[in-house]
Homo-oligomer: A and B are copies of this chain.
């Protein structure tokens, strides 16, 4: 099988929603080095193959071969949702090929598509865990079976493929048959069920958009409307809220239960709402976003406070140490915010995307792209050490990134996000007389935005987020009078913009307009203040009371034990807030009081008769803080983001 990547559409992008704003296509921006260019390159070079090899080794790929051979009788390796990892990897490959030709990735694509194709049943059903000899029947366990979830991810691969390559493609045909099967089985007159793990909804809407098949969008609408009515059989000790089957989507006022489920569902609901013009449904998700971001989200943008059900906690329940903050929930949160940004144009959604990109998505992969965090706590009390570099690991809570997991959803989710990263960098609004290009995320590279008047070519030079200057040069101007807007993040008080020709002017957080029309040769410099700053938790966050965080631009910083002087321990450190932190590289230097360990509580629980604990001496010392996303790269360590105040 050979691929013609020259067919890639430069406008290809993950989300194509109705409305005047369109995200830029993958071919409209080329990342050149810098923070995100580096991560995307490592992803392409190392992570894609890494994921493939692990799934081959564990037999998750061979599951497709077994179905093809009719040899499904024996034990099947992997969880019931392992097919979805193969699809997420393929989606990453599709996006990557959509902007960068790569023979190795093309071979990977061809191999995987061939194996998948051979496992599809004649009627379009495609799943390696159910419905064949020796397996449970199709859709016999909607609560936990993940069949529609897997199909949803398959449809997302097809969406990527249609947009980057075209409809005439084997994987697209596979997905079309699978989607048709779902519509037949679960349509108005079919099974009235839903999947325990949302995902099929957004897959169906996007594929409906990509192939112009309203039936798929209607099927997604049915799934959204059926949810929240308690139809899913309980799983062990989990309540219906675990899979958002407790309250209909349009009635809910907050995200709850399993975070990834809640967020994929929200993304799908937004897709349905924008396609069907359902303002009530759209407003419901906006309301859920607001309440959940304001009360159930970590400083990093991480969502999900609880390990037990990988779920949201109650309002203000944001423990730093037991923060689950699953990497996949970060990915899903970005998917939701991106849809809201396109639909509303409100900069707050771009702010949250940036926070989550830098402090959750970028935190997960190790520098070499071959190990990952699954959970992203903000406080590590015990040094890691349980991770086995050559084995499948549990959820990597131990402060060391792991190469692969028993449930390994995060590596492939990171892969597809990084492979399509530039699609969230900017959007074009074509509603007014002239197009407005809005840069929402900053990365070094070249932007080549298509307009009716020809391309607008911008060269973006920046060391962001290590430095705050973003220099934009207009290489080619469109014949149309295109305007440009730049995002000033909410934290960037005192940001300045030097427009083409003009003097620097201060600009408030939100969107900063650059005087139009742009002319080739124009240079614009946005200067964002990235001096380290203190950030205090809302007093209602009990687990963070009496602490303060240090941020630097979009980066959350942390103190890692390997940076402490001899004898000092993370649990004896208190920040001297009287001295402002000062910048150092992409981190900061702060003054802390370091205490020696106190005595124990004499055979009693650790509660004291006096507020001042006896024993222990303290001394003041300066210590460096590093970006949170790079902790745990220097051996086992302890770490904290929120520092007690001296």
Number of copies: 2
Contact with B along A297-330 (1 / 0, CB 8 A): 1110100001110000111111111100000000
Query: Does A197 sit at the interface, judged by CB under 8 A?
Result: no
**Residue on B with the closest CB to A533?**
B609
Q: Which residues of B contact A314 (CB under 8 A)?
A: 321, 381-382
Contact B319 A543 (CB under 8 A): yes
Interface residues on A, range: 35 or more
Provide a sorted-by-A list of 9 A–B residue pairs whose CB atoms are within 8 angstroms: A290-B603, A307-B307, A317-B321, A317-B322, A348-B604, A351-B604, A536-B609, A542-B642, A545-B547
Most B CB atoms within 10 A — which of A238, A301, A607? A607
Q: Is the CB of A605 within 8 A of B297?
A: yes
The answer to whether B542 and A294 touch across the interface, beta carbons within 8 angstroms, is: no
Contact with B along A590-601 (1 / 0, CB 8 A): 000000001011
Known pairs A237-B394, A644-B545; A605 contacts B540 (CB<8 A): no
Is A538 engaged at the interface, CB distance under 8 Å to the other chain? yes
Q: How far is the CA of A317 from the CA of B301 in the complex (A)?
A: 23
Known contacts A236-B406, A545-B644, A613-B538; is-contact A607 B299 (Cβ 8 Å):
yes
CB closest chain-B residue, reference A608 = B536
The answer to whether B537 and A607 touch across the interface, beta carbons within 8 angstroms, is yes
Contact of A543 among B355, B543, B601 (CB under 8 A): B543
Most buried by B among A295, A316, A609: A609
Contacts beyond the supplied A237-B395, A317-B322, A538-B608: 4 A-B pairs with Cβ under 8 Å? A239-B386, A293-B603, A294-B606, A315-B381
A490–B491 Cα distance when bound, in Å, is 50
Known: A394-B237, A606-B316. A611 touches B536 (CB 8 A): yes
Return the contact of A604 from the options B352, B541, B607, B642 (Cβ within 8 A).
B352
Smallest CB separation, A410 vs chain B (Å): 14
Among B236, B351, B572, B605, contact of A293 (Cβ-Cβ < 8 Å): B605
> Which interface residue of A290, A301, A313, A381 has the most chain B CB atoms within 10 A?
A381
**Are B381 and A321 closer than 8 Å at their CB atoms?**
no
Q: Which residues from chain B contact A6 at a C-beta distance below 8 Å?
A: none
Residues of B within 8 A of A318 (CB): 606
Q: Assess whether A283 is interfacial by the CB under 8 Å rule.
A: no
**In whole angstroms, what is the CA distance A603 to B539 when docked?**
17
Please name the residue on chain B nearest to A349 by beta carbon.
B603
Pick from B239, B547, B606: contact of A540, CB under 8 Å:
B606
A73 on interface, CB distance cutoff 8 Å: no
Q: Is the CB of B322 within 8 A of A322?
A: yes
Chain A window 523-562, contacts with chain B (Cβ cutoff 8 Å), 1 for yes, 0 for no: 0000000000101111111110111110000000000000
Q: Give A607 to B295 CA distance when docked, in angstroms.
A: 10
Residues of chain B within 8 A of A317, CB atoms compared: 321-322, 381
Q: Report B-chain residues with C-beta under 8 Å of the C-beta of A490.
A: 602, 604
Chain B residues, Cβ within 8 Å of A611? 536, 548
Q: Are A295 and B540 neighbours in the complex by a CB distance under 8 Å?
A: no
Q: Is the CB of B607 within 8 A of A406?
A: no
* Complex contact B535–A600 (CB within 8 A): no
Which residues on B sit within 8 Å (CB–CB) of A320? 542
Q: Report if A379 contacts B (CB, 8 A).
A: yes
* Chain B CB within 8 A of A476 CB: no
- Determine whether the beta carbon of A379 is less than 8 Å from that of B542: yes
Interface residues of A in 243-289 (CB under 8 A from B): none
Within the assembled complex, what's the spacing in Å between the Cα atoms of A546 and B535? 18
User: Within 8 Å CB of A237, what residues of B?
Assistant: 394-395, 406-407
Q: Which residue of B lies closest to A246 (CB)?
A: B386
Give the Cβ gap from A324 to chain B, nearest Cβ, in Å.
Answer: 9
Residue pair B539, A613 in contact (C-beta under 8 Å): yes
Q: A239-B394, A317-B321, A321-B317 are in contact. Are A538 and B307 (CB under 8 A)?
A: no
Establish whether residues A606 and B541, one from each chain, have CB atoms under 8 Å apart when the complex forms: yes
Decide if A571 is an interface residue (CB 8 Å cutoff).
Answer: yes
Instruction: Assess whether A610 is interfacial by the CB under 8 Å rule.
Output: yes
User: A322 to B319, Cβ gap below 8 A?
Assistant: yes
- Given known contacts A316-B571, A543-B319, A537 and B608 CB-to-CB distance under 8 angstroms: yes
Smallest distance from the beta carbon of A307 to chain B beta carbons, Å? Answer: 4
The distance from the CB of A454 to the nearest CB of chain B, in whole angstroms, is 36
Contact of A604 with B539 at beta-carbon distance under 8 Å, contacts A314-B321, A319-B322, A406-B236 already known: no
| Minimum C-beta distance from A189 to chain B (A) | 32
How long is the Cα–Cα vector from A407 to B236 in the complex, in angstroms? 10
Residue in B closest to A571 when the chains form the complex, CB atoms:
B540
Q: Are A601 and B538 in contact (CB under 8 A)?
A: yes
C-alpha gap A546/B295 in the complex (Å)? 20
User: From A548, which residue of chain B is reached at the shortest CB distance?
Assistant: B611
Docked pose: A572 CA to B542 CA in angstroms: 11
Closest to A551 in B: B607
Interface string of A3-22 (1 = CB under 8 A from B): 00000000000000000000
Chain B residues whose C-beta falls within 8 Å of the C-beta of A298 in the assembled complex: 605
**In the bound complex, CA of A601 to CA of B352 (Å):** 13
